[in-house]
Chain A
Amino acid sequence: MSTEVPHAEKPAQALRVPYKAFTERDYLELEQDRIFHGKVWAYVALEAEIPEPGDYKSTYVGLSPVIVTRAEDGSVHVMENRCAHRGALVCEKRHGNASSLQCVYHQWDYNLKGELNGVPFLRGVRGKGGMCKPFDKSQHGLTKLRVATLNGIVFASYSEEVEPLEEYLGPVAVEIIKRNCRRPLKLLGFQRQRIHSNWKLAAENSRDPYHAGLLHLFLNTFGLWRNTSETASISLDETGRHCLLRTETHADEEAAEHADQAQHAYNPDFALRDASVVQSRREFDDNINLVVLSVFPNLVVHQLGNALSTRHVIPISENEFEMVWTQFGFVDDDEELEQLRITQGNLIGPSGYVSLEDGDAMERVQRSVTHDEDTKSFMGMVDQNTRSMDYFATENPIASFWRYYQEVMGLDSEFDIPGQDLAAAGSR
């Protein structure tokens, strides 16, 4: 007679994602069209990166190079970084300040809104050569993207039809952005990571609460993980494309218990000699000490203690992407708080105590799925009816991402969406 605990009453569900979504160039090309140039708002910058008129930053939306500028009148603009003439990069530097944007090749000159100012030798030289007529300068500017900002975060879109930014984000994401970026931001630094895997593995990773305590062992090892004093919460927006993971701690215990844990770890050999990396000051009105807000398609808004950052995902090819962490504080931080943010920066980024494993984990997937591309992953911790969870052992957020991806890409039967029972999914 079996003494096994019976499975939960809801039907078994599983999601199987074909690995070719990570390895085939076709998916990347279609993503450019349907996602990055589609009805999305893509993260491009913090306003704090372009504070003064004339400031510019060059970056990417998907594979497309773009420029983010602050015009003379203070407005923010985003345009393609491609000369309207013969396609050269207009801004080669990552950031700078200029009164106009000039392509070095033939000195075609654009204003900070991307409009064409002038073209050398438009009328030829001594009556010979020159531009064909009629030449309407307004038709030859840099391709503009729409811009929307929220609390100092700059988004851009190729789409005329995408809903307004706050509607696109949904109320939960808007609230978190307003919380994390509640005052004027001050840049603290950039961390850039080159990861040899498909960008969608990063989209999965930031929506994966299951792996946190199993891959990132720093907190467990040093006796700093306090499951009993933290409550986890996960919420998905209506579309399932955005995901908020957060944990709350009990503030009155927090400082004492961190200091205490550092001294009295489970294994005294593994006590931190200097616990300042995990000592944070309470700065928010709530008890939330961890926020991982994934905003489709290319942004994560992150808080860990006092370490605040955005993560920008930039696809390079089907098997490579760049992750840019932008660390920030607030203009009115006192020196001690700024120092806390910098010290706690040791927890995040490409060498972060609780984040460095991610780059490698994503690459391990890419390294193994490069062949046998018709095989699929298996994710069985899925309940498609739940948008809100207070437990970590779930793959709902990843499943939601793929459901939305499938819909937006127009790939009807590519993925086995939840609803098929495990027996039918079989042993493929």
Chain B
Amino acid sequence: MANTNSLLEAKPPWGKEDQTWAVRQRQQFEVEQLLYAYVEYIDDDLLEELPQLFTEDGSYQVISKENVDRGLPAPTMGCNNRNMLIDRIISLRNANIFSEHAYRHVLSNVRVKAVEGDELLVQSNYVVTATRNDGIARVYSTGKYVDRIVFEDGSPKFKQKRVIFDTHLIDTLLVRPL
């Protein structure tokens, strides 16, 4: 049985060498919290909180499963660093014009697939419904997140986030992070 104190004190990053049950539980908890914060900030329209979940050089890419399967590089939304993600949010708030809609994510299947040095490779499933001002909730997009998560000052952050959407038909437009 792991010593409770040592579990609480265990500090990231955790390497391949240390994949004890306690460590794995802790990893699962941390990555889930990061992912839940990510979707909560989008759904509750707290977009300005989103960039802090990324490292400064953290990339964010929304790309269709079709393009990934065919080995094609062009994403729908591609932020090469955190500043570009900030620009997306500022543009949404101040420049872009679109009809009202609210997202609600359902997230599941969160799994740490690998630990590569400092990075946790994490995959999860999402379904996003969008409710427009007609009040009807429709499935807007479903797919998976394939993320590389690292720890900065003890907090988990996305170093690379890829939203790979199965629903490769974008319904009308995509302006909000997915």
Which A residues form the contact surface with B (CB < 8 A)? 94-95, 187-196, 215, 217-218, 220-222, 270, 272-274, 276-277, 322, 327, 338, 341-343, 345-346, 349-351, 353, 356-357, 359-360, 363-364
Does any Cβ of A come within 8 Å of B111's Cβ? no
| A189→B73 contact, CB < 8 A | yes
| B73→A359 contact, CB < 8 A | no
| A345→B74 contact, CB < 8 A | yes
| Complex interface: chain A residues within 8 A of B96 (CB) | 217-218, 353, 356-357
| B73→A363 contact, CB < 8 A | no
| A342→B172 contact, CB < 8 A | no
Select which of B75, B173, B175 is within 8 A of A345 by beta carbon. B75
Does any Cβ of A come within 8 Å of B87's Cβ? yes
| Complex interface: chain B residues within 8 A of A196 (CB) | 172
Main secondary structure of the interface of A (DSSP, over half): mixed
| B72→A187 contact, CB < 8 A | yes
| A360→B97 contact, CB < 8 A | yes
| B72→A188 contact, CB < 8 A | yes
* A19 CA to B171 CA, complexed, in Å: 23
Chain B, Cβ-Cβ closest to A220 = B95
A226 vs chain B, min Cβ distance (A): 16
Which of A94, A215, A346 counts the most B-chain CB atoms under 10 A from its CB?
A: A346
User: Among residues 19 to 72 in chain B, which have CB atoms less than 8 Å away from a CB atom of chain A?
Assistant: 62-64, 66-67, 70, 72
| A222→B95 contact, CB < 8 A | yes
* A44 CA to B77 CA, complexed, in Å: 25
Does any Cβ of A come within 8 Å of B94's Cβ? yes
Does any Cβ of A come within 8 Å of B174's Cβ? yes
Give the B interface residue count (CB, 8 A).
35
| B84→A274 contact, CB < 8 A | yes
| Complex interface: chain A residues within 8 A of B66 (CB) | 94, 190, 192
| B175→A356 contact, CB < 8 A | yes
State the 10 A-B residue pairs at the shortest beta-carbon distance, nearest first: A189-B74, A221-B95, A273-B83, A351-B174, A350-B170, A274-B83, A189-B72, A188-B74, A359-B173, A356-B173
| Complex interface: chain B residues within 8 A of A218 (CB) | 91, 95-96
Q: List 29 A-B contacts (CB under 8 A).
A: A189-B72, A189-B73, A189-B74, A190-B72, A191-B76, A193-B169, A193-B170, A193-B172, A215-B97, A220-B95, A221-B94, A270-B90, A272-B87, A273-B84, A273-B87, A277-B84, A327-B74, A338-B73, A342-B74, A349-B76, A350-B173, A356-B96, A356-B174, A356-B175, A357-B97, A357-B98, A360-B172, A363-B99, A363-B172
| Complex interface: chain B residues within 8 A of A273 (CB) | 83-84, 86-87
9 further A-B pairs in the complex, CB-CB below 8 A; given A189-B75, A351-B62, A360-B172: A188-B74, A190-B74, A191-B170, A192-B169, A192-B170, A194-B172, A218-B96, A276-B80, A353-B91
| B74→A194 contact, CB < 8 A | no
* A94 CA to B65 CA, complexed, in Å: 13
Does any Cβ of A come within 8 Å of B104's Cβ? no
| A351→B173 contact, CB < 8 A | yes
